[in-house]
A and B are shown apart, each in its own frame.
Chain A
Amino acid sequence: MVWTLVRRGLVVGAIAGLLAGVFAFVFGEPRVQDAIDIENAASAHASLAHVGDWVVSRDEQRGGLFLATALYGIAAGGLFSIAFAALRGRGSQRTDWELSTRLAGAIFVAIVVVPFLKYPPNPPAVGDPETIGERTAYYLILLVGSALAMFAAARVMWSMRSDAPPWARPLAGAGTFIVVAGGLALALPAIQEVPRDFPAPLIWEFRLSSLGTQAVLWAALGVGFGIATVRAAAAHGRAPARGERSVAAP
């Protein structure tokens, strides 16, 4: 049964990754190209040359986008299905649909929205290559810390008495998450590397398209996995009934 869930996670994850790739291709790819054009125009300062001497062409990178989002989707779907299997029957979610959609939403907030708010993604041509190691480390610390904060918030909610008033659970959960994840985000150093003369609309649109790409992926994963699980359970529920009838028939 665990492996059924994992296989389902991989398949739904691949689909979610491809859908996210389509979104990224339509809304994000033009912004990436704009940024690279700016970068190339600037690399009359030759040392900054970024794309010119690459082994992969721009067209191949556009195709590689789908490879990247599909691989990421498959891996995310696999991890999602393991988390789903581990949490099923242990939390306060009463149905597979509820667990699947809420889990995806919680993961999206924890590992996408929180890191996005503190360390928003940048298009090519923004960012100092010297600090990439540092930036990546802070980003990962926040991502992992935020995921742990979400788990802590869920534990707080599940531990509450079921006769508590309806607002008690969500307020306690949200409060725990905001205090822990928000505290960590505040404690980590700020990074601001967007050049002063870089077009603001381009940064804004790029970041929105990046957030949208992740939103499409996690929405598709939560909804798709939920639908597949509910349908599988319904099909499973009917099968023995048919068997019983045939046994009962004289």
Chain B
Amino acid sequence: MDPAANVQPFPLRQLLPALLLGVLFMLAIYLVQYDQGVSQTGSLLHELMHDGRHLLGVPCH
């Protein structure tokens, strides 16, 4: 009856490249939350996102 009840799952092989992209997203989260120089911007990024880090609930200094 419900057309969505028997959705075909995506085959895992099709998902693999997306999972690799997922690593990139995690890197972006790392940049927001922890970067203190890895990105070669010194403390610029770190300080710019200071308030966001506090308010997103990440431990900070």
Contact = CB atoms under 8 A, between A and B. Distances in A.
Interface of A: 1-3, 6, 21, 24, 28-29, 32, 50, 54-56, 60-62, 64-69, 71-72, 74-76, 78-79, 82, 85-86, 88-90, 94-96, 112, 115-116, 119-124, 127, 129, 132, 135-136, 139, 206, 209-211, 213-214
Contacts of B5: 94
A213 B51 CA distance: 12
A210 B58 CA distance: 10
Q: Is the interface of A mostly helix, strand, loop or mixed?
A: helix
Contact of A67 (B7, B12, B49): B49
Nearest to B57: A121
B34 A136 contact: yes
A214 B4 contact: no
Interface string B13-52: 0110111011011101101111000000011100111111
Nearest to A5: B18
A135 B14 CA distance: 38
Contacts of B32: 68, 71-72, 75
Contacts of A95: 2, 4
Given A121-B58, A214-B57, A65 B52 contact: yes
A119 B57 CA distance: 9
Q: Contact size class for B?
A: 35 or more
Given A64-B50, A95-B4, A139-B59, A55 B43 contact: yes
A64 B51 contact: yes
A32 B15 contact: no
A79 B57 contact: no
A65 B51 contact: yes
A82 B18 contact: yes
Chain A to chain B: the 5 pairs with minimum beta-carbon distance, closest first: A68-B52, A89-B9, A64-B48, A68-B49, A89-B7
A33 to B, nearest CB: 9
A71 B53 CA distance: 11
B27 to A, nearest CB: 8
Contact of A75 (B19, B26, B42, B48): B26
Contacts of B43: 54-55
Given A82-B18, A121-B55, 16 more contacts: A21-B52, A28-B51, A54-B47, A55-B44, A55-B47, A56-B50, A62-B51, A64-B51, A65-B51, A71-B31, A82-B19, A86-B12, A95-B4, A123-B54, A132-B60, A211-B57
A61 B48 contact: yes
Contacts of B58: 121, 136, 139
A214 B52 CA distance: 11
A179 B32 CA distance: 31
A216 to B, nearest CB: 11
